[in-house]
Structure 1
């Protein structure tokens, strides 16, 4: 793969960022996070809601579309936060204009589109990454440390849940029968990426999806089983689960190992803080006060339960790593190859759900 070409003005001025889309994702997850990173500057936003953008970011220019955005000389990095069906064409336009690119998850509609963008970024020597912000959740960072320190011994079973209670079907594209909608590519992108980060690619993947809410037009429930039969993680079973009908959610993480178990309830607080209009920074940002627990069997047959304080979460670490990659100071936080691999697994899951069977991961 071609080496990334460092920015010419490295270290002398902030990197100008252009944001494509100012809906929920752009307004909540991208603009406030990237604007909190030293060395990045929100220069322009492509949006059909200029008043909304100017209210929140009066210093940023507002343009009508991605083509007007990439025509600006002050935009070096383009962040694509559009509906999923527009990810590939918007990212492609930005790469062709010589810009570095971050795409919200899911990366594209399918693996073929993902491979096209990855090849283009490699040829043009541009940074291309996907916004997997939940690699920087407080509880996920803590879980990685629990595993790295061998606190539960060899892991044999892992459950990861993202359960919500949203019984009403809303009139938004994510819940309509349109390309790129549905819970599997939405929350499944996070859960699957985290599982691969922890344990690597599985040997087989089996996915079950369903439309459980009254009036549901696209799947609002999924359960995926990843089997590890070879390699360093084997033997291991991983269950990934998400639903829109869980009034009493399951634990966020449940991990069983040969020496004990770890359980964590509740979710990282950064999303709720961003939804409420908060911006990263301050002593409390990313602090998850709901500790996990380790259950450790003792030699005398008793059980010792030990609280596990969470490491601090911080979504700005994603964009800080993107900045450093553009400046030639490290790799992207999610590489283009990783993005392609994940889209291949998401595609395989959809095929598994259609066929009703486990499929081998190649």
Structure 2
């Protein structure tokens, strides 16, 4: 194992920077969270007084000691900040959405390849407890061949409660399809690969909303139908996964507990970590067994370890550029499908 420590810079210290990345980076001895871009606040120093402050992106990127940059800013800034970071010879992790179009994503991937830099997307939901549980059941053959897969990720977020958030502003790269869509689509594409076609209904359902806040995206395969849905006008988020296969069905609700734990300022070196409460466990229905299935423990740390190993040891990325491009393309096709009311061939 290499003794090298990677110096990390964060661009942005909102929900993503403060509650997702900083806790994992701070307890992983392979990283040093060196510098954070905050234009006027000093919240990073409240988290850790040893973190240096940068008042601009240029100030961070000009620091030659920074090896790796995480981009945790509003969606419309991701592409340009990532291009600038790569041009300054930094390895880069981009929050979702990776880019607002497939064309932008391809430019980023091409530049990273040209400069020999590691570039990936923060698809942390691959390490959620529910998704790890589903993968385990499928790998064990408990469901047989999947015929239908449906995943939902709903929130109850009336416009009046969230009006000041940048996520509620109209513009390119904004709306729920860019916010929660990358999570659900990435999971589905990891499980089932490239679809034959994409059909989508993307709309606004909340009174007073100026963004799309509902989507229903359907991925067609030769032997299965995959549905991912999300609404910001659903009170409660219990409906999560419905899988139906040739040997059984699996129904599950609830959310992975890591985000709510991190928001309580509990660091991910506290054990046990990522263990779901029993009332969130799913139920398997089959001839061989019908009953509750204990959830696997979720843990986002393997994402960070993989990024380190890709940079220092040349290990293959877990979230590969080809997978990122596929997800971005599906979002492009979903938007076109919804706009033109037609089925899009992948």
Deviation at 1:329, TM superposition (A): 4.3
**Residue 87 in 1 paired to residue 78 in 2?**
yes
The one of 5, 24, 32 aligned to 1:41 = 32
Contact in 2 for aligned 1:50/1:62 (Cα 8 Å):
no
Counterpart CA distance in 2 for 1:249 and 1:93 is 38
Q: Deviations over 1:165-188 (max 9, x none)?
A: 112342211111122110001101
Contact in 1 for aligned 2:151/2:229 (Cα 8 Å):
yes
TM-score, normalised by the number of residues in structure 1:
0.91
**Residue 198 in 1 paired to residue 181 in 2?**
no
Counterpart CA distance in 1 for 2:111 and 2:236 is 45
Deviation at 1:111, TM superposition (A): 1.0
Contact in 2 for aligned 1:324/1:330 (Cα 8 Å):
yes
Q: Deviations over 1:173-230 (max 9, x none)?
A: 111112211000110100000000000111111110121111000011111111102x
**Residue 209 in 1 paired to residue 202 in 2?**
yes
* Matched residue count: 342
What secondary structure does 1:252 align onto? strand
- Where in structure 1 are there 5+ consecutive unaligned residues? 1-9, 230-234, 299-303
The match for 2:93 is 102
Farther-moved stretch of structure 1 (10-19 vs 214-223): 10-19
Counterpart CA distance in 1 for 2:174 and 2:155 is 17
Q: Deviations over 1:26-57 (max 9, x none)?
A: 11222112222220110000111442121112
The match for 2:316 is 331
Matches within 5 A, 1:201-350: 201-229=194-222, 235-289=223-277, 290-297=280-287, 304-350=289-335
Deviation at 1:270, TM superposition (A): 0.6
Contact in 2 for aligned 1:227/1:237 (Cα 8 Å):
yes
Q: Deviations over 1:44-88 (max 9, x none)?
A: 001114421211121111011221112113210011111111111
Contact in 1 for aligned 2:198/2:343 (Cα 8 Å):
yes
Deviation at 1:306, TM superposition (A): 2.0
- Where in structure 2 are there 5+ consecutive unaligned residues? none
The one of 131, 138, 144 aligned to 2:129 = 138
Deviation at 1:248, TM superposition (A): 4.1
TM-score, normalised by the number of residues in structure 2:
0.95
What is the alpha-carbon root mean square deviation over aligned residues?
1.4
Counterpart CA distance in 2 for 1:265 and 1:194 is 16
Counterpart CA distance in 2 for 1:305 and 1:267 is 22
Contact in 1 for aligned 2:142/2:248 (Cα 8 Å):
yes
Counterpart CA distance in 2 for 1:251 and 1:172 is 25
